[in-house]
Each structure stands twice: as structure tokens, then as C-alpha cells.
Amino acid sequence: MFHSKFARTGIAAAAAVSVLALAACGGSGGGDGDSDLISVGFSQLGAESGWRTANTESVKASLTEENGIALTFVDAQQKQENQIKALRDFIAQDVDVIAFSPVIETGWDEVLQEIKDAEIPVVLVDRTVDTTVEDPFATWIGADFRLEGEMAGEWVKENHPDAKIFELQGTLGSGAQVDRQEGFGAVVGAENIIGQATGNFTRAEGKTATEAALQAYPDLNLIFAHNDDMGLGAIEAIEAAGKVPGKDIILVTVDGVRDGLQALHDGKFNFVVECNPVFGDQIVELIKKVHAGEEVAKETIVVDQTFDQTITQETIDARLF
């Protein structure tokens, strides 16, 4: 996944050099100049899910003045045009560093080139980009979405090899949707997936998509949802149809937010692949290194784990999100 991502974005080994060059020519943007805080423009894609809410909380708790950051945080309500506007505003404000989580992978070429021309380094957060711009960002931090799909697929292959699978896709064209779908399909076999529809990573749209799926595919008996929120919406639709989630219809999801793990503990989900949103502290460290012109790893993988119905209430209660 990362090879294809880097290949897609044409990132050359020169990335490290370009970051050092930025520092050398003082091209790291001026921010307000006289402040010793690092001015950071952060474009968050939205507030669509429990995962995003936890991620935003982690970002805001870490990118603070006490940690040396002057943060401008903008929520895009899941609209790419809002993110692009925010990124252009950050250029106009001449921030020191730009960080953003792209709602979908494509459509960023123009603004990424404008950011590069303004010599403002980019820290890419969570979602991935597919761009022709050379060396578009200094570093990316997030989860291995393809592996998450593969882990979900391995559990299905092991425990429900003959399942008739319906796939609730995340936001179409987002890195999380593309790669989870690829990883899952590669393991279970595309021929075992009888239908797919997007629920846009939200509970409401996951419910609507599942209502339609239950009508269209009466024999479906397993749903792979690209996130917990769509899975929770699916539970509502399944129960409204007079069926028992976790029994009549097996539910496999990704994220591991509290509501999802509670559904797992209550027997309504069957398997959850974690996608940890709490990495604001790591983002701060990357921002400081990039701003200082230090070489940083091109990617930082946030480690995940998996959960099944043996999960305890104590484990759920002790979690950060």
C-alpha cells in the first residue's frame, strides 16, 4: 500500500533533501515571525464518526501552545472544497507547517503545488493522497488500511468461509475505503462479496445502505463495514428488519471506538479491527522535526490490534477512545 502510495505520488528520495533545503533557505514560512511558537494550519476532514471525533480530540490536546504550537484548526464537514479553501487560507497566513487529513485521495494536485511553491512543509495525517506533484509532503502518519482489510478478511475466511458478504464502504475514493476494500477482497475472494454500497463512514448512511441491501440481497448473512459507525447503523436496520445482528447477520468492522467495542461485547458485532486515532503526540513531534529541517521517516504507521467477543467490559472502560 505504501509503495503504491509513494509510487503514485512520485515521491523521490530527494524528499529529505527538500526538507533540509527548506530549513536552509529559511523557507519554512514565517507564521507571525516574532513568536517562538510553530504556526500550524490543520485541515480536519470532518466530524463524521467516533473515530474522527477521537482523532480531533487527540490533535487539539497535543497541538497546544504549551507544546510550542500555535494551531489554526478548520473542520471541512467532509467536503474537499472546504479543505482546499482552508489550505489556501493557510498559505495566505504563511503558516510554518500545514497538516491535513484528505477526505479523498485525488483532486489535490493544484493546491499541493501551491503549498510547495510557498515552501510550506506538509505533514499528511491519517488519510492518503494520490497526486502527480513531486515530493508533495514531508511525512505521513496513519494506519495501514490494507492490512486492516486483510485482518478483517482473515477472520471471515477462518470463521465464516461460506458467508454471503455485503460490504459497507467508507467514503468512496478515500484511502481508507480503497485500501480496506482491496485488502479484504484479496483475502475473502471478490466472488464471495455479493454486494457493496457506501455509507460514507456515517451511522445514518450506514443504516440507509443496509436497509437497501437487506431488500436487494435477502440471503446476505455477513456485513463487512469499513468503520464502526456504519456497522452501528447496520445494527439498527437489521433489528428493524426483525433479524438478530451478530447471529442472523455477522458484523465485522474497523475502528474499535467505544460504541463499537460495546456492540462487540453485547454480541451485536462479531469482530473489530482497531484503527487507533490517538496519535496527536506523534504529530507534534513530526511537526517539530519537519520545522527544524530534520530528516523524518517518510511514513509512521500507527499500530492496530483486533478484538473478538471475548472482550471484557474492563478492557472497554480502560480505553482512551
Q: Which of 181, 227, 253, 270 binds ligand GZL (CB under 6 A)?
A: 227
Taking CB under 6 A as the rule, does residue 201 contact ligand GZL? yes
Residues in CB range of 160: below 8 A, 6 or more apart? 221, 222, 250
Q: Pick the closer one to ligand GZL by CB: 96 or 229.
A: 229
Residues 58-87 touching ligand GZL, rule: CB under 6 A, are none
What's the gap between Cα 70 and its chain centre? 24
Are the CB atoms for 97 and 38 separated by under 8 Å? yes
- Specify the stretch interacting with ligand GZL by CB under 6 A; choose among 43-51, 81-89, 260-268, 282-290: 43-51
Count the neighbouring beta carbons within 10 Å of the beta carbon of residue 142.
22
CB of 287 vs ligand GZL, minimal distance in Å? 19
Q: Which stretch binds ligand GZL (CB under 6 A): 45-53, 204-212, 236-244, 286-294?
A: 45-53
Task: Output the nine-digit C-alpha cell for 299.
Answer: 511514513
With beta carbons less than 8 A apart as the criterion, state whether 225 and 253 touch.
Answer: yes
Rounded least distance, CB 226 to ligand GZL, Å: 6
* Residue 248 grid coordinates: 442472523
> What is the rounded distance in angstroms from the CA atom of residue 289 to the CA atom of residue 286?
5
Quickly tell me which residue has 478515500 as its cell.
Answer: 174
Binding mask 119-148 for ligand GZL (x = CB under 6 A): -------xx--------------xx-----
DSSP string, 35-84: -SSEEEEEEE----SHHHHHHHHHHHHHSSTTTTEEEEEEE-TT-HHHHH
Beta-ladder partners of 306: 273
- Candidates 22, 48, 129, 260: give the one binding ligand GZL (CB under 6 A): 48
Nearer to ligand GZL, 292 or 320 (CB): 320
Binding flag, residue 234, ligand GZL (CB under 6 A)? no
Is 254 one of the binding residues for ligand GZL (CB under 6 A)? yes
| Contacts to ligand GZL from residues 203-222, by CB under 6 A | none
CA distances from 138 to 141, 262, 287, 289 (A): 10, 38, 9, 10
Q: Least Å distance between CB 170 and ligand GZL? A: 6
Shorter beta-carbon distance to ligand GZL: residue 96 or 148 = 148
Binding residues for ligand GZL, rule CB under 6 A, total 15
Q: Which residues bind ligand GZL (CB under 6 A)?
A: 48-49, 51-52, 126-127, 142-143, 176, 201, 227, 229, 254-255, 275
